[in-house]
Structure 1
Amino acid sequence: MIDIPEARFEELVADALDTIPAALAKHMDNVVVLVEDRAVDPNLLGLYQGIPLTERAEYGVGGAMPDRITIFRQPILRSCSSEAEVVEQVRITVVHEVAHHFGIDDDRLAELGWA
């Protein structure tokens, strides 16, 4: 396990978010991204909570509460042995959770190499 200070970890999450193409990022105006130290499930690296964009019209959702993406610091740090690994795992986790916002499920993410 590597230790990276909370502030630095938050920078890594922000950097990963900055890599999302502008054409997609503009559809994330109702998403809050948080960093928490621990998850209830110690193996959970990130969590998307909300209604995916692909389902909003189906439910007639307008003016919905913000979706929430949480990135869990300690589980990511436990799975890595270097800062370079943390950078890559944060990027993968952020992309994975953002993909859920766009309606992409875990099976498809695994096919695409983002599981």
Structure 2
Amino acid sequence: MNRERFSELVTQALDNLPEAFLELLDNVEITVDDYPDRHQLQGDDDCMSLLGLYEGVPLTERGAHYNLVLPDKITIFQKPIEAICHTDADIIDQVETTVRHEVAHHFGLSDEELDQIEENRASS
């Protein structure tokens, strides 16, 4: 899939979020890269295992003195997502899931909490 189409999927996934969530993403930069760089991997050598990454200070950890800071950043990694998907429909679903996952980190949810939410969603 070309980068333009993949980026459109990321934009579409963001547009599918509730308006109340979008309003709280006003200082978050959202980008698409092929792969994570060494800094983003944080010591893990498997660049194919990271589908997305939130870098910043979650809303739940911001205090009264949180101001004049660079935007938080969400990066969606195209090649690892494509590698685990077999069809365009799979890519669309995975992009939606990955965007929701990284946005949830912005709101302060941990990986463990997100795993539990996904388990509950799957069993419903």
* From 75, 81, 89, the counterpart of 1:76: 81
**Structure 2, gaps ≥5 residues long:** 38-46, 120-124
Aligned to 2:108: 103
TM-score, length basis structure 1: 0.91
Query: When the two structures are aligned, how many residues end up with a matched partner?
Result: 110
Aligned to 1:35: 32
**Match runs of 1:7-26 below 5 Å:** 7-26=4-23
CA–CA distance in 2 between the matches of 1:64 and 1:101?
15
Structure 2 residue matching 1:47: 3-state secondary structure:
strand
TM-score, length basis structure 2: 0.85
CA–CA distance in 2 between the matches of 1:57 and 1:65?
16
- Offset at 1:64? 2.0
Following TM superposition, where does structure 1 have runs of at least 4 consecutive aligned residues deviating by more than 3 angstroms?
Answer: none
Aligned to 1:50: 56
- Offset at 1:63? 2.5
